[in-house]
Amino acid sequence: MKFAILVNEGPYTHQASDTAFNFAKAVLAQGHEIFRVFFYHDGVNNATRLTTPPQDDRNIVDRWSKLAKTSELDMVVCVAAAQRRGIVDDGEMKRNGKDATNLAPGFRISGLGQLVEAGIQADRLVVFGD
């Protein structure tokens, strides 16, 4: 089965990001495919490389980055939601005259069309968070 995952909540605000991450790992362990993970609303905060949790806490952003690398996941961050929350890649930095980037490895910024495509291509779109 082919899944698409939508994450709408930030990494330390609600359980949604942790649950989505654990769901993704379980899906892959069962031999299923993940077409795309799309981060929307406050979920885009899962994509900032500047997150620095205490040493005794889990690093959710790092977990997502490592999973993207080992499983070749397509992890897309909504451009409009990212701009509102200060999540910036090289393209957005240049386009908006910013002096730095903060997008974590394994993530890419794109538009809502990527979510629509994921919903069409996947057998199931699973939503985490409001």
Give the single-character DSSP code of 46. Answer: G
Q: Which of 39, 35, 36 is nearest to 8 (CA)?
A: 39
CA torsion sign, 63 to 106 to 69 to 40? positive
Residue in 27, 60, 78, 115 annotated catalytic: 78
Known catalytic membership, residue 57: no
Going by C-alpha positions, the residue among 3, 2, 1 that lies closest to residue 125 is 3
Q: How far is CA 29 from CA 26, 32, 71, 94, 126, in A?
A: 5, 7, 10, 39, 17
**Beta carbons within 8 Å of 15's beta carbon, 6+ residues apart:** none
Report, as residue numbers or ranges, the catalytic residues.
78
